[in-house]
Amino acid sequence: MSLLVVGLSHRSAPVSVLERASLVGDEQAKLVQDTLAAEPATEAAVLATCNRIELYADVDKFHAGVAELSTLLAQHTGVGLDELTPYLYVHYEDRAVHHLFSVACGLDSMVVGEGQILGQIKDALALGQELHTAGRLLNDLFQQALRVGKRAHSETGIDRAGQSLVTFGLEQLAQGAPVAEWARGKRALVIGAGSMSSLAAATLARAGVAELVIANRTLERALRLAESLAEQHAATPAAVSAAGEETLRGSLVARAVPRDRVSAELPHADIVVSCTGATGLVLTATELRTALAQRAACPPGAHPAAADVSLLDLAMPRDIDAAAHRVEGLHLVDIESLAEAAAEPSGDPGSSAGAMATDVDKVRAIVSEEVAAFGAAQRAAHITPTVVALRTMAADVVASEIARLDGRLPDLDDKQRAEITQTVRRVVDKLLHAPTVRVKQLASTPGGAGYADALRELFDLDPQAVAAVSRADGSARTAGPNDPKGGRT
């Protein structure tokens, strides 16, 4: 195992750099494909979220791997290598495993313990499998990371400390008031219908907003989200209007509109949440000032009388102009301000500091235990092809000797030949049993990789035969659920 990760996150880089370094469109796919095409990587996967970009690879040379992965990150993010390098971190082998397992448990998140990262790790694995850039090592690693994250959430109270970035952002907007009290009766506009925007819409619906408008580039997706939320809150659908809107009325008024209708909805919104994949600004400061002026001109009762318009920008790069921070009447919370709030002692609301520290310590113990188990399993798996090649060689020797015996003693009957064959096989199996079992045990210990080399040297095994077993094993592990090989995914 030669696992290497090179990346940057909210812990190593300022938001201004993370924003510029974000991967948009199909850049994630291009990055892993280019990583696999470059030496010295043989596997590749990318974990890209709103506050981290990490490139994982199986490499055969550490220094060359770091240089290559760093260069690829710079090329695909568009940030110069000289500018990017000071913010990059590097983890290798067991430290890389420890890092990903910690990330999966939410220990490295902006909001400690948040669970959304598990979905993002699952997406990273799915992309690697789809593009065939994730082989045996990365498949095992990411699948185990998902299991470790789930174990941490089920066996500890890390959920008490952790929460979604959406919830954390809304709490910052509420400025100490309970989110349900702060949001009740307000009108909310959610721009985007992806996973983060959908979570924001669902959270606002539960908090009791009076009206929820979903604006999305694809109206159909926004309609599905609005309908789902309305049904959950005992709403019934009304007719589709000529403007392409669908109103769903009940305890929650939910509407879906095309994204080009955002400017018309802004003057009526008390809360705006935006998280799209746009490469440019979705809302400029000028557009927001215009909306404020239109809002002020609305007749009494046309919208809830909120003192400010609350803006939550969860996109990276940002959707909402940072200049909105300086516009009177607007209260903007974005990734940068969330990072600052999370760094403060009061930035992790929910449980007491003592309980949270206990939960974090429990999760760290789980991570350490799982890293040790993963390392042992990988080291043991590393020697398996050598053991298989040894036993294959022994079987070939037995077959060759039995064939030679047939030539020298052609009068043996079938029963005698079968008994001799079985006896020879038993002798060979007994001679090989103890050393192969012991070498597997030794290989699972730290530094045990050398035992495979020793076994190959002692028995003069053909390196190509060992490599063939490794390739077959890797192919079986990466085959899809419908693949005739029946491999794992």
pLDDT along the chain (489 residues), means of 10: 90 88 87 89 92 94 94 94 96 95 92 85 95 94 96 87 78 90 92 87 91 92 89 56 47 88 93 88 94 80 66 90 93 88 57 67 94 84 77 86 87 88 90 80 68 76 66 51 36
Helix (H, G, I), strand (E, B), or coil: what is residue 206? helix
- The whole-number pLDDT of residue 317 equals 83
- The whole-number pLDDT of residue 131 equals 95
What is the distance between the alpha carbons of residues 123 and 271, in angstroms, rounded to a whole number?
30
- Contact in structure between 338 and 110 (CB atoms under 8 Å): yes
- Contact in structure between 105 and 149 (CB atoms under 8 Å): yes
Q: What tokens were used for 135?
A: 């082989």
Who contacts 349 (Cβ-Cβ below 8 Å, separation ≥6)? 163, 168, 171
- Contact in structure between 278 and 319 (CB atoms under 8 Å): yes
- The whole-number pLDDT of residue 239 equals 40
- Contact in structure between 207 and 286 (CB atoms under 8 Å): no
CA angle, 46 then 195 then 349, to 5°: 95
Which residue among 50, 105, 275, 298 is the active-site one? 50
- The whole-number pLDDT of residue 96 equals 96
174-204: b (≥16 Cβ within 10 Å) or e: beeeebeebbeebbbbbbbbbebbbbbbbbb
Active site residue 298: no
- The whole-number pLDDT of residue 333 equals 94
Going by C-alpha positions, the residue among 88, 90, 159 that lies closest to residue 118 is 159
E strand segments, 64-186: 89-92
Enumerate the β-bridge partners of residue 271: 188, 310
For 8, 191, 267, 393, the CA distances from 278, given in Å and listed in that order, are 21, 11, 22, 58
Task: Dump pLDDT digits (tens) for 48-70.
Answer: 988 899 999 999 889 999 999 99
Helix (H, G, I), strand (E, B), or coil: what is residue 481? coil
- The whole-number pLDDT of residue 364 equals 95
- The whole-number pLDDT of residue 261 equals 93
